[in-house]
Amino acid sequence: MTHALGFFRSTIGKKVVMAVTGLILFGFVLGHMIGNLQVYLGPEALNAYALWLRELLHGGGLWIARSVLLASVVLHIWSATSLTLESRAARPIAYRKWEPQASTYASRTMRWSGVILLAFVIYHLMHFTFGNAHPDFVEGDVYHNFVAGFRVLPVALFYIVANVLLGLHLRHGVWSMLRTLGLAHPRYMRFAQGGAALFAAVVVLGNVSFPIAVLAGIVP
């Protein structure tokens, strides 16, 4: 037992926790986006999909997924916070002058994009899941909630901005995760950076299309 605890206390162990929980969350955001694409098939398709999710494994499926996601978010934030505090402490005096050579905007803003994403996730749950932040919430009519929710311009804009930040988080996160988990093979790593950017672009474009489609009247 002491050695398992030692692993989770080490910097690399905490990074592994961040990478594995990040991977779970990636799987979720991709699946979530693909599921929502059914809004383009009309109200019946989307509402039937929502019902199917609710009745999966006699209603247990949704709760299993929610538990795994909640645990992932908590562990992800725990490792991010702990490592961030350690890194802050590792440089008590800042440089007067520091010129970035190789880092990207995405890599330097992971902590900010992460915190803003957390705020977004909480708002998003209150908006579409619990409905208490929704102007006209109808339990079970996902299509209606979707369209009515995005007709509010500031809300649509917030979703778009949050998803661009998600894209930045994903772009650096996918790449960083592969490194953290020890994947260094040059043959595959050549594609990893491009793959990370592609993955981020697919998720963001899919998600951003929803509020735009509602505002443009493509989804009535």
Partner 1 sequence: MNLTLQVWRQKNAQSPGRFVTYQAADISPDMSFLEMLDVLNERLIQKGEDPIAFDHDCREGICGACGVVIDGTAHGPRRRTTTCQLHMRSFRDGDEVTLEPWRARAFPVIKDLIVDRSAFDRIIAAGGFVSAPIGSAPDGNAIPVRKENADLAFDAATCIGCGACVAACPNASASLFVAAKITHLGMLPQGQPERMERALSMVAQMDAEGFGSCTNHGECEAVCPKGIPVAFIARMNADFIKASLTKGRRVAQAGEATAG
Would you tell me which residues interact with partner 1 (CB under 8 A)? 3, 6-7, 10-16, 83, 86-104, 107-108, 110, 172, 175-176, 178-184, 186, 189
Interface segment toward ligand HEM; rule CB under 6 A; list 2-10, 33-41, 93-101, 112-120: 112-120
SS3 34: helix
Amino acid at position 83, single letter:
L
Token duo for residue 182 = 């020890």
Question: What DSSP state is assigned to residue 11?
Answer: H
14 sits near ligand HEM (criterion: CB under 6 A):
no
- Interacting partner of 41 out of partner 1, ligand HEM, none (Cβ under 5 to 8 A depending on kind): none
Which residues inside 135-154 make contact with ligand HEM, applying CB under 6 A?
none
Q: Alpha carbon 110 to chain centroid distance? A: 12
Q: Per CB under 6 A, which of residues 26..45 are in contact with ligand HEM?
A: 26, 29
Window 50-79: contact mask with ligand HEM (x via CB under 6 A):
-----------------------x--xx--
Cα–Cα distance measured from residue 217 to residue 140, given in angstroms and rounded to the nearest whole number: 22
Whose tokens are 């661009």? That residue is 164
Q: Which residue, 164, 165, 155, 166, is CA-closest to 211?
A: 155
Size of site (CB under 6 A) for ligand HEM: 26
**What is the contact mask toward ligand HEM in residues 151 to 180, using x (rule: CB under 6 A)?**
------------------x--xx--xx--x
Which does residue 114 touch among partner 1, ligand HEM, none (CB within 5 to 8 A, set by kind)? ligand HEM
Give the separation between CA 184 and CA 168, rounded to whole angstroms: 22
Provide the total of helices (H) and of strands (E) in the chain, helices listed first. Answer: 9, 0
Q: What is the 3-state secondary structure (H, E, C) of 59-96?
A: HHHHHHHHHHHHHHHHHHHHHHHHHHHHHHHHCCCCCC
**Residue 175 contact among partner 1, ligand HEM, none, beta carbon within 5 to 8 Å by kind:** partner 1
CA distance 79 to 21: 10
Name the residue with tokens 């991709």.
Answer: 30
Does residue 196 bind ligand HEM (CB under 6 A)? no
Give yes or no for residue 193 binding ligand HEM (CB under 6 A). no
Residues forming contacts to ligand HEM in the complex (CB under 6 A) are 15, 18-19, 22-23, 25-26, 29, 73, 76-77, 80, 84, 107, 110-111, 114-115, 117-118, 169, 172-173, 176-177, 180
